Amino acid sequence: MNKTKKLVASISTLLTRRTSHPSSTLRCNPLATFRIKPQTHLNPVKPLALLRFSGRAFCSGSCDKISSSTCWNCGFSSDKSAFLFCDSCRSIQPVDDSVDYFQIFGLEKKYELDAGSVEGKYKDWQKKLHPDLVHNKSQKERDYAAEQSAKVTEACRTLTKRLSRAMYIMKVNGKNINEEETVTDPTLLMEMMELREAIAEADDSKELNKIQSQVQEKLKQWSDSFAKAFESQRFDEAVKCIRRMTFYEKACEEIVKKL
Amino acid sequence: MMIRQAAKKALGLTSRQSTPFSVGIFRSYHENVIDHYDNPRNVGSFDKNDPTVGTGLVGAPACGDVMKLQIKVDEKTGQIVDARFKTFGCGSAIASSSVATEWVKGKAMEEVLTIKNTEIAKHLSLPPVKLHCSMLAEDAIKAAVKDYKEKRVKTNGA
């Protein structure tokens, strides 16, 4: 229920928001350009529509197998890995916890990612799932919309930022990062201490911007290191990279607060 | 003090008239925490090359905060005569390290090693989400003592 309480921006805000990717700038009212997608599926609506199935995946094996999900409303069976919305009857499906963020955006479980493509797909999803579009539907479906929309928003946020994506991809691969253990590496901490001191002592925005670009440079460097370490399954190394990135991100936050 | 200003801004405590007590449904900081902002004690540094100084430098992996706690030890008695801290982090982290510097003064090194994060957290009424800040302070004390002892071994061995 916590997820439904998250405030999701209204659909018009979401779709008119400018993205960093230059090719996707939607300016029109989404509701006016809403068009019905043509039926491309060969499967007809099954007579099982009378039986209300939940949208749960029926596979008993690992999540790598393509599972078959069934629409709770019309019984349409989909083999999509992320069955959030039934194109057949246009109903929103309940959240399936086994669907991970990469599956929602149709991406491979890799660290390297094109943020622009995620933003585009995010908007496409919100055009179907957003709670503002389901006022005429049942309470049950409105609840599904709130949960699915929140999950998709969270997925977008997690995947578009390097640090959160790194942590998520580790988690999805079963590698939990211990966040309890205090960091004692003197070289790392000395560097961070000096960085934070520099930020605190910086007087003008020119100086802060200079520090910020240095930190961004470091973040890119460690992000690349993480990618290499992760690909080669050197998970301890990967965790070290994440640690560094956490500290640099915190420094960035401080700079932004000051600017 | 830049840290204080940043801390105050982060907390939204810009007016001097901040409510000291938890009022009804509002989640505000305990008066002890606010006290450590308005009247910071022991902020600063010692020369880390000074043989009577032990420096503890620790970091929180979850939030990226850094804490430095230094102790000045009387070589003859082994008692901690002074302490300083410098912390970059949230209000609770700053208050925890401030409390730590107060509590270690005038105590023997073995005694300060028994200071527990739960005691610091209780003194500041830290919410569960901020307990790691008090843990960081406990670790900083231990790191400072360890550093001092290692320095002594080096100077005695040389």
CA pair distance A19, A225, nearest whole angstrom: 27
Q: Which of B65, B56, B62 is nearest to B88 (CA)?
A: B65
Q: Are residues A51 and A109 in the same domain?
A: yes
Q: Which candidate in B63, B74, B111, B125 is catalytic? A: B63
Is residue A183 classed as helix, strand or coil in its secondary structure?
A: strand
Q: Are residues A57 and A146 in the same domain?
A: yes
Q: Do the chains contact at B64 and A188, CB–CB below 8 Å?
A: no
Q: Which residue of A has its CA nearest to B56?
A: A184
Tens-place pLDDT, residues B86-102: 999 988 999 999 999 99
| Mean pLDDT (10-residue bins), chain A, 259 residues | 53 62 41 43 46 46 60 87 87 89 90 87 90 86 91 94 93 87 92 94 91 94 94 92 94 91
Chain A residues within an 8 Å CB radius of B2:
200-201
Tens-place pLDDT, residues A87-127: 888 888 888 888 999 999 988 888 988 888 899 999 999 99
Amino acid identity, residue B75?
E
The dihedral region occupied by B24, where left means phi > 0, alpha psi between -120 and 50, and beta the remainder, is left
Q: Are residues A209 and A225 in the same domain?
A: yes
CATH code of the domain covering residue A199: 1.20.1280.20
pTM for the full model?
Answer: 0.74
Determine, yes or no, domain membership for A92: yes
pLDDT of residue B132: 92
Helices (DSSP H) in chain A: which residue ranges?
Answer: 2-5, 11-16, 101-104, 115-129, 139-160, 162-172, 186-201, 205-231, 235-258
pLDDT of residue B30: 85
CA pair distance A6, A8, nearest whole angstrom: 6
Q: Are residues A79 and A148 in the same domain?
A: yes
**End-of-domain residue from the set A172, A202, A224:** A172
Q: Are residues A248 and A208 in the same domain?
A: yes
User: Low-confidence residues of chain B, pLDDT below 50?
Assistant: 13-23
- A/B interface, count of CB pairs below 8 Å: 70
Which runs of E-coded beta strand occur in chain B?
53-59, 66-73, 80-88
pLDDT of residue A159: 93
CA pair distance B125, B20, nearest whole angstrom: 12
Chain B residues within an 8 Å CB radius of A193:
57, 66, 68, 86, 88
CATH code of the domain covering residue A164: 1.10.287.110
Specify burial of residue B158 (Cβ count, 10 A radius: 0-12, 13-18, 19+): exposed
Is residue A69 classed as helix, strand or coil in its secondary structure?
A: strand
| Active-site residue flag, B90 | no
Strand order, beta sheet including B66-73: B53-59, B66-73, B80-88
Q: Are residues A168 and A99 in the same domain?
A: yes
pLDDT of residue B17: 46
Contact A158, A168 (CB under 8 A): yes
Put simply, the chain A residues between 183 and 202 with a CB less than 8 A from any chain B CB are 183-186, 188-190, 192-193, 196-197, 200-201
**Tokens 């999805």, residue located:** A172
What is the number of domains present in chain A? 2
Q: Are residues A194 and A101 in the same domain?
A: no
- What is the domain range of residue A209? 2-28+183-258
Q: Are residues A102 and A133 in the same domain?
A: yes
Q: Which residues of A4-32 are buried (b: 16+ CB within 10 A; e: fewer)?
A: beeebeebeebbeeebeeeeeebeeebee
Give the pair of three-digit tokens for residue B104: 């270690």
| Active-site residue flag, B63 | yes
**End-of-domain residue from the set A172, A206, A223:** A172
**End-of-domain residue from the set A127, A151, A172:** A172
